[in-house]
């Protein structure tokens, strides 16, 4: 078969078994719904769930009709339809079981708000009409309240308790954020929502709350309210997520999701929130490695702020863990445990193993997730034996200040203990411990990404230690005349890109010759004129359905134009094209499934949709850490814990690439704030970088070998991420062995030649070949650096089929 048929001819051949399209086809939508059910987390259940067979319900809250399938911006997906909670409950329980009055009321209201340009999740909560309340009360004693949340790219979430003000960048005056947002609520309920919840919970005997949110939000008000007996964290479950939630409420399926984040009482309880809005130009990561449960379980006084702990989630059945055993080999820990379903319905449980390392000189979190495994669906009475293995070296800490051995990963001497359970708090310490007599270096590295402007960081005992500083802000420097915004943000469709070679190819060589083994990639690239090399390092115009541009595109040398498309909840096409795809659940829900194989199934399904639509590179998964609830893109990301995020995303990447479509883990790295994302400096210690913020990327790179990776917009320790050689070459390639292509995020403010020199191979959405050539001439970029990048670009293209 000829290579790159789809890239070259854009055929419309369906990939379904029966000659039908897989895109938004039944199988994928069924998978999307199944995945949604696997990740939703049951947080509270005082005998009210599952709903009794034949019972009737009344739905409250505008979110019953205003279902949010996923977040906004590039993470959105264009779909043919989205089911709401009424659809779900009617489908699962029957039309006669759902009170019709609120359905009419909320649907009409929400439709009018959409007409008025409000997007799903941003519609304000209307009052509950007294007459509906009474009628509903006569219809049933059971109320299901829905609350939904929306967030998106390029803006962060807000606290509606604190009055947030920011400075106008031009006048310097204090400007307060939109009052509309405050009223509509975000992490906290809005006043109108609080009133609605209060009104409904006073009127009904049984009250269940469904949270349809991609990010964390307050839950203490539900946990503490005795009139609310059920609470389901349903996340943003994709186009049929509401049906999956209904199936869980009705007991058609049994909840098995577990929290991928700690749910704390207040926003200020998260250490990363404290100074989040202090500046638009920098964020000090002073909490260091104490992110999420590492903070709440370690720092004195923090534990009581937790409403629902990391890893927590209820089921309709009961499980017992027995015959736990921990054993050690030269370099591995193995935990064995039997899980038995002691309850009355089939269900799945997640076994979680945490380790506790000696405090030593470096200081450690009280617990760290070491491994996990979800059981198969266990029938009542059935037992499964689980084995979880992890390397001893995984328990090492990175010594950035040389307290034991500088720039090394170190296992400090002392006793290592293991906690086996079903959340970070539910479980028991194993009797077996691992004792190390002498400090052990597991890996000697070199100092990379050293902080320059971070003055202090948190320690395990709650005190702060001072860090050396050496101010550095190299991100505005360029050896060329600075670029104007007109040039920087020029549309690649209209910009004249000298992408077609004016030179006759040497011996008529074509990239296919490399694919067929007739010449090496190195020889091919070495024969390309500088102009073609330069053009190859920037984005190419869209063809077909694509809207995020492509790579390659040099017909003279037989280099196809490989199209990209966004994710991570599916393939995103423009709304006005008329091609819809499957919207899968948001990434946080996928993380909450604690099931990497399920992520793999989703990855495979999305890749098939990509392929069918002649897209070859998927710009997903997003794997940044949930440092705090405010980041507007948390719904696109997995977890506060890098191991969980890394393992789940690795599963997804394996699924995608099994279809010969490239995955693109993003945004590398430390893009944890959307406000001023192109110019905000993440100031963070080397240790936190290696143990928290890069760790999930490392897992994905080493375990799933993604063919490409996207660097981020932001600045890290004074360097633009896309120009940061320490990160893109030093750590990514030299330490981890990454052999794929690195692309920038779209329209970074980075200088193209500096990006190429740093190991960022591709500039999107458009490159600046003329600047590369100028830099080459001035000697600030070498031909060798350009060839290296071109080899990575072409290697990616060669991998695709």
Q: How many residues bind ligand BGC (CB under 6 A)?
A: 8
Minimum CB–partner distance for residue 571 and ligand BGC (Å):
12
Structure tokens given for 688: 């936190």
Residue closer to ligand BGC, measured from CB, 619 or 756: 619
745 is catalytic: yes
Of 87, 399, 745, 761, the active-site residue reads 745
Q: Is 619 a residue that touches ligand BGC (CB under 6 A)?
A: yes
Q: What is the dihedral of CA 194, 200, 202, 204, to 10 degrees?
A: -150
List, in order, residues 6 or more apart from 515 with CB less than 8 Å away.
3, 798
Q: What is the DSSP string of 517-570?
A: TSS-HHHHHHTS-HHHHHHHTB-B---TT-SS-EEEEEGGGTEEEEEEEE-SSS
636 vs 640 by CB, closer to ligand BGC: 636
In this structure, the number of other CB atoms found within 10 A of the CB of residue 99 comes to 23
Which one, of 37, 33, 87, lies nearest residue 59 by Cα? 87
Give the Cβ contact number of residue 701 at 10 Å: 26
What mask of x and - would describe binding to ligand BGC in positions 464 to 483, judged by CB under 6 A? --------------------
Q: Which residues contact 687 (CB under 8 A, 6 or more apart)?
A: 288, 289, 362, 397, 398, 399, 400
**566 belongs to the binding site for ligand BGC (CB under 6 A):** yes
Contacts of 44 (CB under 8 A, 6+ apart): 222, 223, 228, 229, 230, 231, 314
Pairing, β 332-341 against β 383-391: antiparallel
DSSP state of 241: H
Closest distance to ligand BGC from the beta carbon of 454 (Å): 25
Residue selected from 240, 745, 761, 785 as contacting ligand BGC according to rule CB under 6 A: 745
Q: Residue 93: what are its φ and ψ, rounded to 5°?
A: -110, -10
Please name which of 87, 92, 91, 119 lies closest in space to residue 103, comparing C-alpha atoms: 87
Check if the beta carbon of residue 511 is closer than 8 Å to that of residue 527.
Answer: no
Do 240 and 32 form a contact (C-beta atoms < 8 A)?
A: yes
- Give the three-state DSSP class for 365: coil
Residues 6 or more apart whose CB falls under 8 angstroms from that of 236 comprise: 68, 69, 70, 71, 212, 213, 214, 569, 585, 586, 589, 635
With beta carbons less than 8 A apart as the criterion, state whether 144 and 89 touch.
yes
In the numeric block, the tokens 């490159």 are attached to 767
- In the complex, least distance from residue 177 CB atom to ligand BGC, rounded to whole angstroms: 22
- Closest to ligand BGC by CB, 25 or 75: 75
SS3 793: helix
Is the four-CA dihedral 611, 612, 618, 623 of positive or negative sign? negative
Q: Which of 91/745 has CB closer to ligand BGC? A: 745
Match 């002649």 to its residue by tokens.
614
> Residue from 23, 32, 74, 676 that binds ligand BGC (CB under 6 A)?
74
Q: From CA 65, how far away is CA 59, in angstroms rounded?
A: 9
Beta carbon nearer to ligand BGC, 612 or 745: 745
Burial of 117 (0-12, 13-18, 19+ CB in 10 A): exposed
CB-based contact 694:665 (threshold 8 Å): no
Residues 332-391 touching ligand BGC, rule: CB under 6 A, are: none
Q: What does the per-residue mask of binding to ligand BGC show for 133-172, with x meaning CB under 6 A? A: --------------------x-------------------
For ligand BGC, give the closer residue by CB, 566 or 761: 566
Q: Which of residues 636-695 bind ligand BGC (CB under 6 A)?
A: 666
CB 666, min distance to ligand BGC, A: 5
Would you say 27 or 153 has its CB closer to ligand BGC? 153
Distance CA 549, CA 197 (A): 46
The residue behind tokens 């938004």 is 24
Sheet holding 408-411, edge to edge: 397-399, 408-411, 440-444
CA 427 – CA 422 distance, rounded (Å):
6
CB atoms within 10 A of CB 377: 14
Smallest gap from Cβ 283 to ligand BGC, in A, equals 17
Measured from the CB atom, is 201 or 657 closer to ligand BGC?
657
Residues 319 and 256: beta-carbon distance below 8 Å? no
Q: State the nearest-atom distance from the C-beta of 282 to ligand BGC, in Å.
A: 20
Nearer to ligand BGC, 295 or 551 (CB): 551
Q: Which is nearer to ligand BGC, 157 or 687 (CB)?
A: 157
Least distance to ligand BGC, CB of residue 678, Å = 10
Using CB under 6 A as the binding rule, whether residue 788 contacts ligand BGC is answered as no
**Min. distance of Cβ 633 from ligand BGC in angstroms?**
8
Shortest distance in whole angstroms from residue 619 CB to ligand BGC: 4
Smallest separation, CB 641 to ligand BGC (Å): 22
Q: Hey, which residues does 663 pair with through a beta bridge? A: 618
Q: Which is nearer to ligand BGC, 666 or 687 (CB)?
A: 666
The CB-of-677 to ligand BGC minimum distance in angstroms stands at: 8
Catalytic residues: 745
Binding site for ligand BGC (CB under 6 A): 74, 153, 548, 566, 619, 666, 745-746
């Amino acid at each position: 078969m000829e290579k790159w048929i789809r890239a070259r001819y854009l055929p419309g051949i369906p990939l379904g078994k029966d000659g039908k399209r897989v895109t938004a086809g039944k199988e994928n939508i069924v998978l999307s719904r199944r995945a949604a059910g696997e990740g939703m987390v049951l947080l509270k259940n005082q005998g009210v769930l599952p709903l009794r067979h034949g019972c009737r319900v009344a739905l409250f809250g505008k979110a019953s009709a205003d279902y949010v399938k996923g977040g906004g911006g590039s993470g959105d997906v264009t779909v043919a339809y989205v089911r709401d909670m009424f659809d779900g409950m009617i489908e699962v329980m029957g039309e006669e079981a759902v009170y019709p009055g609120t359905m009419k009321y909320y649907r009409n209201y929400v439709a009018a708000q959409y007409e008025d340009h409000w997007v799903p999740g941003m519609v304000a909560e209307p009052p509950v009409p007294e007459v509906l309340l009474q009628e509903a009360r006569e219809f049933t004693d059971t109320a299901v309240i829905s609350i939904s949340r929306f967030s998106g790219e390029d803006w962060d979430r807000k606290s509606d308790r604190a009055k947030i003000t920011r400075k106008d960048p031009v006048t310097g005056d204090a400007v307060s954020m939109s009052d509309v947002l405050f009223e509509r609520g975000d992490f906290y309920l809005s006043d109108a929502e609080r009133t609605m919840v209060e009104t409904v919970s006073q009127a009904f005997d049984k009250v269940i709350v469904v949270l349809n949110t991609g990010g964390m939000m307050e839950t203490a008000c539900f946990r503490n309210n005795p009139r609310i007996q059920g609470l389901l964290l349903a996340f943003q479950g994709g186009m049929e997520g509401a049906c999956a939630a209904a199936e869980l409420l009705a007991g058609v399926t049994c909840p098995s999701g577990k929290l991928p984040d700690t749910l704390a009482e207040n926003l200020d309880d998260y250490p990363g929130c404290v100074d989040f809005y202090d500046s638009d130009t920098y964020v000090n990561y002073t909490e260091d490695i104490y992110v999420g449960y590492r903070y709440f379980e370690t720092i004195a006084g923090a534990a009581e702020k937790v409403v629902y702990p990391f890893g927590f989630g209820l089921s309709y059945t009961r499980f017992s863990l027995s015959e736990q055993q921990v054993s050690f080999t030269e370099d591995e820990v193995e935990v064995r445990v039997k899980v038995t379903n002691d309850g009355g319905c089939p269900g799945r449980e997640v076994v979680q193993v945490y380790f506790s390392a000696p405090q030593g000189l470096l200081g450690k979190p009280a617990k760290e997730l070491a491994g996990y495994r979800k059981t198969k669906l266990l029938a009542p009475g059935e037992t499964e034996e689980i084995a979880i293995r992890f390397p001893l070296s995984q328990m090492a800490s990175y010594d950035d200040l040389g307290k034991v051995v500088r720039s090394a990963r170190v296992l400090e001497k002392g006793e290592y203990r293991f906690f086996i359970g079903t959340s970070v708090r539910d479980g028991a310490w194993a009797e077996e411990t691992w004792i190390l007599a002498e400090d052990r270096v597991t890996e000697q590295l070199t100092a990379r990404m050293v902080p320059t402007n971070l003055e202090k960081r948190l320690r395990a005992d709650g005190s702060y230690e001072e860090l050396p500083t050496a101010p550095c802000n190299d991100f505005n420097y360029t050896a060329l005349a600075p670029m104007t915004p007109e040039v920087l943000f020029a549309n690649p469709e209209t910009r004249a890109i000298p992408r077609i070679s004016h030179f006759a190819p040497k011996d008529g060589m074509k990239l296919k010759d490399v694919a067929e083994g007739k010449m090496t990639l190195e020889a091919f690239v070495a024969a390309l004129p500088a102009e073609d090399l330069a053009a190859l390092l920037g984005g190419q115009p869209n063809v077909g359905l694509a809207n995020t541009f492509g790579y390659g595109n040099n017909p003279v040398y037989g280099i196809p134009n490989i199209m990209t498309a966004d994710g991570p909840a599916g393939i995103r096409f423009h709304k006005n094209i008329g091609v819809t795809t499957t919207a899968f659940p948001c990434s946080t829900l996928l993380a909450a499934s604690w099931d990497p194989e399920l992520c793999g199934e989703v990855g495979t399904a999305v890749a098939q949709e990509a392929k069918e639509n002649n897209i070859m590179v998927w710009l997903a998964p997003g794997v940044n850490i949930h440092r705090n609830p405010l980041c507007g893109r948390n719904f696109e990301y997995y977890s506060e814990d890098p191991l969980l995020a890394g393992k789940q995303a690795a599963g997804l990447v394996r699924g995608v690439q099994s279809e010969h479509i490239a995955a693109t883990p993003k945004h590398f790295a430390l893009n944890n704030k959307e406000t001023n994302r192109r110019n905000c400096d993440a100031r963070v210690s080397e240790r936190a970088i290696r143990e928290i913020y890069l760790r999930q990327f490392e897992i994905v790179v080493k375990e799933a070998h993604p063919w490409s990776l996207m660097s981020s917009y932001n600045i890290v320790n004074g360097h633009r991420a896309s120009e940061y050689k320490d990160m893109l070459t030093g750590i990514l390639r030299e330490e981890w062995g990454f052999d794929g292509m690195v692309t920038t995020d779209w329209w970074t403010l980075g200088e193209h030649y500096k990006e190429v020199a740093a190991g960022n191979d591709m500039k999107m959405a458009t490159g600046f070949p003329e600047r590369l050539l100028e830099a080459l001439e001035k000697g600030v970029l070498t031909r060798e650096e350009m060839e290296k990048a071109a080899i990575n670009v072409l290697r990616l293209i060669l991998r695709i089929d």
